[in-house]
Copies of this chain bind each other. A is one copy, B any other.
């Protein structure tokens, strides 16, 4: 069976998914829609699909599933429309920046019985998946302490930051999801600090660029997250899980792994400098998992509930910074 896709949104992340869908033997990219015809045309010609409107994709008989890559403030509406249209839905994170809106959207998804996957791509990185498997196989015993380091090579434009919901909802949200993925227990409390160390303009926009957070579960398991909007050495993405019987880590990835030695020392090249090259395999695995869940009728993960849970942690982190105290979840 082949799953026939419509792509909503032909921007940067839309291109990533167009490539992933096209490269999957079990999928066909049938159509793409975008408010900017040129963007849609570019994908259409690169991957041999049609340009359509959202409305015609909604009504199309030859489309089984959509990938939503439009601006964040359209996500919830589109999820509801396509859930009602009977399509399987893959939506980039977040569903919405407002918890109430996310809950309402998930309710529609449940009522319609639609399949919804939320785009936490890192769960599908082969190295992080392997760490999770080590945990599942019991090789490091009960998880005790999770450490997640995420640093971007550079900050996005301030205009983006203003619309992003803030660093905790835009960037740390991936780490909150990863913490849930690795802890195996729901966090019940959040502590966070935040500062502006990289760019004053970010502070003037009401956001932070350097943050630290601690999550704790009911049984006392802890996850520590460190984020920065700057890293001169590349896209820094590491996880470490310490358990009762051992520790599992996934180190950074680099495109070229040579070493040059001389009187100054031994030097390896910088890391990947962009999430698209760093997570190429993750994006491919993610869409493959979505397709497999559609074909086999299995439970989709990460689901809308996962998107909601990560957002709730982000909201709690914002509140923790503002109020200088531990925030309880749920």
- Contact surface of A with B, Cβ cutoff 8 Å: 126-127, 130-131, 134, 139-140, 142, 144-145, 147, 149, 151, 189, 191-193, 195-198, 210-214, 216, 219-222, 224, 226, 228, 230-233, 236, 242, 244-251, 253, 255-270, 324-326
CB-nearest residue of chain B to A126? B256
> Is A258 a contact partner of B131 (Cβ separation < 8 A)?
yes
> Is A222 a contact partner of B210 (Cβ separation < 8 A)?
yes
Checking B144, B212, B264 against A145 with a beta-carbon cut-off of 8 angstroms, the contacting residue is B212
Rounded to whole angstroms, the CA-CA distance of A263 and B250 in the bound complex is 19
Q: Which of A144, A191, A249, A261 has the most CB of B within 10 A?
A: A261
Chain B residues with CB under 8 Å of A245's CB are: 232, 262
Can you sample 19 A-B contacts with CB below 8 Å? A130-B256, A142-B197, A145-B210, A147-B147, A147-B226, A189-B193, A193-B214, A193-B326, A197-B219, A214-B214, A232-B261, A232-B262, A233-B266, A248-B259, A265-B267, A265-B269, A265-B270, A267-B268, A324-B325
Write the nearest CB–CB distance from A43 to chain B, whole angstroms.
14
> Is A140 a contact partner of B265 (Cβ separation < 8 A)?
no
Q: A144-B210, A145-B212, A256-B126 are in contact. Are A246 and B220 (CB under 8 A)?
A: no
Rounded to whole angstroms, the CA-CA distance of A232 and B247 in the bound complex is 8
Chain B residues with CB under 8 Å of A228's CB are: 144-145, 242
> Is A140 a contact partner of B260 (Cβ separation < 8 A)?
yes
> Is A259 a contact partner of B249 (Cβ separation < 8 A)?
yes
Rounded to whole angstroms, the CA-CA distance of A282 and B5 in the bound complex is 31
> Is B256 a contact partner of A127 (Cβ separation < 8 A)?
yes
CB-nearest residue of chain B to A129? B256
